[in-house]
Amino acid sequence: MSRIEGLYYEQHGTGPPLILSAGLGGSANYWLPNLPALVANHRVILYDHRGTGRSDRTLPEQVTVEQMGADLLALIEGLNLEKATIIGHAAGGVAALALALAAPERVDRLVLVNAWSRPDPHFARCFEARLALLRSSGPDAYIRAQPIFLYPANWISENAARLAAEDAHHLAHFAGAEAYEKRIAALKAFDVDARLHEIAAPTLALAAEDDMLVPSNCSRRLAEGIEGAELSMMGWGGHGCNVTDPNGFNQRVLEFLGS
């Protein structure tokens, strides 16, 4: 098992380095639907966020998005990379923003998927509802409710067996209520909206119009605030659009990367 400063990681393919950073769940496996397309021309690095999966489960008393960005930097430095492109989904996207502000020279390009630059009342409400469910009904209920926030209703119906199997896996590897409390608190507090003009890396803000967790207007704001940023809107796919429509997602990303 490969680790850098307590972070589990794995590498696939060869070429320009591409680090994929998952959302709240933090799992490297989140990106498996996209891996075959991305490894064709890239050295793809997957990792589990600190506090989740196979990485060190120990978290500080207070977690910040800046710490998540520092973990990305630790991977870049630990792998002796001059710089890397970061594809970040939601929590992984804001971690990528934090990295780009703290160490711009180590970021080649950014792909920010259903991410945000400042707190939003809607996703705050969703996070509060999810935490209330976790506190009152426990991990099993929390995990069973998760697809409601991630995917379109029709896709959930059509993939019931797949999701049931994933529920069992997620429950067996659950990071713990305290980890989710800390990570969600960090995400709700993150606000770099006034600093978006400092982002120098070429950026793609990619969102799904029907994302019911993070409003697509958050990605529009990223594209407006980051000079030269591109905006790509998927008409369908929900918060986990790279899972529900991997081909459409991969096409948009690879066009941006010039692959």
- The CATH code of domain 3-257 reads 3.40.50.1820
Q: Is the pLDDT of residue 51 over 80?
A: yes
Q: Where are the alpha helices (DSSP H) in 173-245?
A: 177-189, 217-225, 241-244
The arithmetic mean of pLDDT across residues 15-37, rounded, is: 98
The arithmetic mean of pLDDT across residues 95-101, rounded, is: 98
pLDDT of residue 259: 73
What DSSP element (H or E) covers 111? Answer: strand 107-113
Among residues of the chain, what percentage have pLDDT more than 70?
100
Q: Is the pLDDT of residue 164 over 90?
A: yes
CA distance from start to end of the chain = 30
- Per-residue model confidence as pLDDT tens digits over 165-193: 999 999 999 999 999 999 999 999 999 99
Q: Judging by beta carbons within 10 Å of its beta carbon (0-12, 13-18, 19+), is residue 16 exposed, middle or buried? A: middle
Strand partners, 89: 113
pLDDT of residue 1: 82
The arithmetic mean of pLDDT across residues 124-130, rounded, is: 97
Torsion of CA 71, 103, 255, 113, to 10 degrees: 50
The arithmetic mean of pLDDT across residues 209-238, rounded, is: 98
The arithmetic mean of pLDDT across residues 227-240, rounded, is: 98
